[in-house]
Every structure is written in C-alpha cells, then in structure tokens.
Amino acid sequence: MVFSSLLFIFRFLPIILLLYFIVPRGWRNAVLFFGSLIFYAWGEPVYVVLMLFSTAVDFTHGWFIRRSLDAGKKRRAKLTLISAVVINLTLLGVFKYTDFLIGLLNQAFGLAIPLPGLPLPIGISFYTFQTMSYSIDVYRGDAHVQKNIIDFGAYVTMFPQLIAGPIVRYQTVAKELNERRESASLFADGIALFMAGLGKKVLLANNIGLLWDAVAAMPAGQLAAATAWLGALAYGFQIYFDFSGYSDMARGLGLMLGFHFPLNFDYPYISRSVTEFWRRWHISLGTWFREYVYIPLGGNRKGLAVQLRNILIVWTLTGIWHGASLNFLVWGLYFGVLLAAEKLFLLSWLERMPRAVGWLYTTFVWLVGWVIFASVDGAGGPEYFASLFGAGNAIDNTTLYLLRNYGGMLILCILGSTPLAKKLFLRARKAVGGADGQGLAWQFAFSAASALLFLVCTAYLVDATYNPFLYFRF
C-alpha cells in the first residue's frame, strides 16, 4: 500500500494544502473531497468506488429520512434508516468477515468452501461508522440534513482521519463543514499537534516496536517470563504511540484546515481501573458504541442485569470490529467481563485502595489484553501465556540483553505515556513566550525545534523501508 508510508503523506500534503488555501473559500470542500479521493485511490484504486458508494448511500438515505420525518411519516423514516444501516453493515461484513465465517463453517462441518480472499479496503471500519452516524443523527434530529453531496463527501473522505480515525460523528463537524474559519494561530497549533504525533509514531512507536519484533520472533514456549513481559510492554507502547500518533497527526491536519476533530487518547496508561482506561483509550470508538449501541439498548436505565448484558454486547462488537479473528472476540469479551465485574463490585473496592493498587491492577490487565490482541499475528497464544506466567525461567541472558539495548527507549516510552511531557511543554511556552505563550522568542524556539524534529523524523523514514500504521489493518 503506497500511502502506508509516511513519505507519501509528506509528498501529498504540500500540494493539497496549497490548493486548499489558494482557491475561493466556497471551493475548499471540493478540494478536500477530490483531493481525498486521489489520496485514497493512490493506494486503493479499486475500493475508492466502494467508498463513493457508501457516501452516496448515506447521503440519499439521509435526504429520504428527513423528507419522511417532515411529512410526518416516522415509520417510513425508520425503515429508511434500517435500510442505510443494513447496507453499511453488509458492506463491512462482506469485505471484513466473509473469509472468517467461511473458515469457521469449513472447520465446523468438514467443508471445503473456497475462501474469496477479498482484500480488506483500508479504513472501511472507520468511514462506515462515520457514514452510519450521519443517517442515525438525521433520524434522531441531532443533525441537519446535508443538501450538498460535495460537502457530505468531504466529510466522509476527509484524508487526515480517513484511514484510521478518530471516528468523527457528523454532528461534530456539521457546522464547520460550511462555516469554519481558518487562521494563522489555528494553523500553528495544527503544526504543533501534527509534529507531536509524527514524533510519537516515528521516534517512539517504530523504535519500541523493534523490541516487540525481537521477542515475537523467538519461540514463544522458550521465553523467560521477564522477556515475555518485556514483549507485552513493548507491544503496548508500540500500539499506543502508533495509534495516538496517527490521531494527533489527523487532529493537527484538521486544525490546519479549520476542523476540530475529537480527542482520541487521554493518557490511558495512567488509568487506575479498566473503566477509566476505556474512557481514555480510542475515545471516538467508545463514544460511537455508547451513543449508537449501548444507550439504544437501554444503557444503565433498565436495571443492573440489562446494563451488564449491554456491556457484554458492546464489548463483543468492539472486539470483532477490530478484525475477523477469534483473538479479537476473546479480547473484547475479556474486557467486557472485567468491566462488568467493576460495575458489580471491583470498582468500589479499587476506589478504597491506594492509587498504586488500582494502577498496578490496570497495567496488568492491559498488558495481558495486548498479548491477546497481538495473537492474530501468531505471536501470542497459549505458549506465550505459559511463558508469561512462569512456565520457564524467570529471567535469562536474553532478557538482560534486551534491557541493555532497549532500556533507554522503554524509559522514554514510560515518560511519554504520562502528561509530564505536555506539562513541561506548557511550562516552557509560558516561560519563554510570556503570559500568552506567543512571544517572539517562543515562536523562534518552537519553529527551530519543530524543524529539527521534522528533519530527524524524515531521516528515520528515509532510512526505513516500511512504516505502516498498525490500525490501517482495521
């Protein structure tokens, strides 16, 4: 995939930004729409048609829903909404789960049905949820119907967050689609956020990912326990800095274009419960499931038993949303059961304990969770878990070798996953830039630091041959 490389994004950005700002304001959504289509088509030339189809489906369904509601025909509006949801979920199901389901049938009944082997359209899990949110919001009256398909297409295909989120609900940016105001200060804030995300991805995620790659390449059943835990920690940091880095880059680009995309990560690794962790991790996905699945099912309004049922349903769906593999289903159920346990008794117990107890418990939970999650690549599974919990040596020379080579990077990742860096940045901005943080000295220092970070990241990218974002696969 060509645009799995950040270097392609760098080549694309100057062109699209230049066109965006030189055309009249009324044409900017068209630049976003067609520019984003070119961006997507460069890597997915066939499946751009699928995305256009999904765009057309929800645009027309939204129009029919609004027209039916205005005519007082709520039943027809509801049927139209059901039609939109079924079409979107069918598209997602066919391309994402067909091989998986056929494989299960073959195993269960001894069949030999050939697998279609359909390539997964990149970003389909994200833009399908976005387009569905539009039809649902129009039906609920939470968003006005969009009458211009170019404007709607710009929302669906918007290249900054098209491929891996954050999932932007239509109502979040509905006003900005037509009334946004770009500014130099907003553009500067966007650059700062983009550069922070770039640094997370290139300097932290890619480098700590080398530790995970090294551990995953070893025979899982022969790992010392400490080595297995190092691998789990490395994967947890890799996926966090990779995904949150992409989200920051997307939000930064959004600010440059005048859009305010929602925060997607809020330092989840400082959490002291699983409940808190999932309020801080992939916030846009959690919000989507809460608004469009959990609450419509009754949320917590119909008693504890129904609430626990709803939690398990949402987390089953959350698991399989990530991929057509049994490990994702197990991963979703794992967190669903823990969240249900916290609702029943565990959370109230944790609140009475010292803060460190809650943090250690939550850290243990997400470390084990990431091993389950990573099993899709064959790096987890029973043998890895056996090593994780002491089937072999506690520690060996391999562990010490990995610590010597990656200890500094682990420390950087630990510090980078806390609010410390942000606090230091804000403190330096105030000290150098004055009360408003906009002084000339700060602007010069920040520009120089950003240029240096960009050069370092570019050097890393040029030296590497492959820099995919992990969540592109979902």
Q: Which residues are catalytic?
A: 322
Whole-number Å distance between alpha carbons of 437 and 431: 8
Alpha carbon dihedral 232, 410, 269, 217, in 10-degree steps, equals -20
Whole-number Å distance between alpha carbons of 78 and 87: 14
Q: Which amino acid is at 163?
A: I
What's 205's DSSP letter? Answer: I
- Long-range contacts of 72-80, Cβ-Cβ distance < 8 Å, separation of 24 or more: 77/139, 78/139
252: number of Cβ within 10 Å: 23
CA neighbours within 13 Å on the CB side: how many for 8?
16
**Among 276, 258, 275, residue whose Cα is nearest residue 341:** 275
Yes or no: say if 262 and 207 are a contact pair by the CB < 8 Å rule. no
Structure tokens at 333: 């159920």
Whole-number Å distance between alpha carbons of 328 and 5: 26
Q: What is the DSSP string of 125-154?
A: HHHHHHHHHHHHHHHHTSSPPP--HHHHHH
Whole-number Å distance between alpha carbons of 63 and 212: 49
Yes or no: say if 115 and 105 are a contact pair by the CB < 8 Å rule. no
Yes or no: say if 87 and 111 are a contact pair by the CB < 8 Å rule. no
Q: What is the DSSP string of 333-377?
A: HHHHHHHHHIIIIIHHHHHHS-HHHHHHHHHHHHHHHHHHHHGGG
Structure tokens at 108: 């269960």
Straight-line distance from the first to the last Cα atom of the chain, in angstroms, rounded to the nearest whole number: 14
Whole-number Å distance between alpha carbons of 402 and 260: 41
Whole-number Å distance between alpha carbons of 279 and 264: 10
Structure tokens at 1: 């995939």
Whole-number Å distance between alpha carbons of 137 and 450: 39
Q: Which amino acid is at 167?
A: I
CA neighbours within 13 Å on the CB side: how many for 116?
12
